[in-house]
Amino acid sequence: MLGVEKLIREGNPFWLVMAMSLSLLNNFYFSYINFTFLSLYVLARWLIQLPEDRLSVRKQLAQYPLIVLLSFMIGAIAFIPAVSGYLNNYRPEFTGQISLFELHDNILYESRFLLLPPLFVLFAFIKNLYRDKTFLLFTSIGLLFVIFHYSPFIASAFNGFSAPQFRFEYIGVFAISGAVGKGLTHLKHATKAQLILGGAGLFVIYTLGYFLDEQVSLSLAPPNHVFVFALWAAASGAALLWVRKSARRLSLLCAVMVLFHLVLVNSGARLTFSEIGLNSSHTFMTSKRYHSRDQSSLIHHALDENRDLFARTEWMTDTRNNTPLIQGFYGNSAYSSVLNGEILRLYYDDLEVDMGREVSAAFLGLATVRIYTA
């Protein structure tokens, strides 16, 4: 996005070429997600033009093909092998139904992927903020990704038209944070009436989000934090009335928000990873279920028999991706979309392993230890 803005505002293509090249070198899959979004962003910038823009749409159209070609040539050393791996991959066709729209969670209270901050909801109801085209741009993209969040079809499109995966949600979070940041810069110009109207919209949305979702309840017991989020929303609206004319108070509010988010995120991570969700507590990590003596003995016996520098052991305990890292041996993990198809056929056809879903061979958790030597 910085590269696109540099091109549009200054006619400078360097940043966009560098960013696209590095993206291709780093990860071809996320390059696909990033470039899909970038195409949408360029279209949005053509519709929402800013006073700083210098390069016309016609001149941009003349430059984008050259930028893409140059970026591809720079990143080809990594991109071509990745595409080759993808084309030589074996991937059973996804047979599940992919719906266009599905209300699968509540983004106001308890979503795994995208949790709307109350300030974004409040600012979205203040009409005067839309006079700032930057706010309009970020809010439009943010609302678009809220719609995308509820579309398994879009999730499939961002995953190469395969099984729906919501790995693109970080883009929506970025856009929403941009809208909130821009809204805060206009806070001192907002009137009480505008903030009260925005607060009313905030109250209506959070009330509907609560009463229309039978899965949430006003409880202080984890993992349900609806009560906390309701207070968060109410406090956000009230705080804006208090700070709107004072830069010092606004700075204090921002500091409190950062602190609150740190506590909230770490509390959620503790519940998810240590107590209720994945149960990755220290007790579990040192238990027989995760790190048994028999398993450790088997792995190190196999390693002692093959001390090749490039030997890799494939073992994964109960879907924990980082088992080798934690248990202290060199592991092997390959992304399923670029794993050699013959290896996958070995698992599917010869070993008759039921993988259950589209995952890499490194995620099988077989009852034997295999050593791969380069």
Express each pLDDT in 241-258 by its tens digit.
Answer: 676 667 777 777 777 777
d(CA 19, CA 25): 10
Report helix, strand or coil for 190: coil
Q: Which residue has better confidence, 89 or 339? A: 89
Q: What is the rounded average pLDDT for all residues in the chain? A: 81
* Residues 6+ away with beta carbon under 8 Å from 194: 126, 127, 128
* Residues 6+ away with beta carbon under 8 Å from 16: 3, 4, 6, 7, 67, 71
pLDDT band at 364 (very low <50, low <70, confident <90, very high): very low
* Residues 6+ away with beta carbon under 8 Å from 290: 284, 317, 318, 320
- DSSP per position, 142-181: HHHHHHHHT-HHHHHHTTTSSS---TTHHHHHHHHHHHHH
d(CA 58, CA 172): 28
Q: Which residue has better confidence, 1 or 222? A: 1
d(CA 241, CA 253): 11
Q: In the predicted model, what is the mean pLDDT of residues 109-119?
A: 82
Cβ–Cβ under 8 Å, residues 180 and 82: no
pLDDT over threshold 90, residue 134 = yes
pLDDT recorded at residue 315: 74
- What distance separates the 2 farthest-apart alpha carbons in the chain? 76
Express each pLDDT in 257-301 by its tens digit.
Answer: 778 777 777 776 776 666 665 666 777 777 777 778 888 888 888
Domain segments of the chain as ranges: 2-87, 118-275, 288-372
pLDDT recorded at residue 132: 93
Report helix, strand or coil for 141: helix
* Residues 6+ away with beta carbon under 8 Å from 365: 315, 316, 317, 318, 319
Overall pTM > 0.75: yes
- What the block records as the tokens of 131 is 């006079």
pLDDT recorded at residue 355: 59
Cβ–Cβ under 8 Å, residues 45 and 32: no
pLDDT band at 65 (very low <50, low <70, confident <90, very high): very high
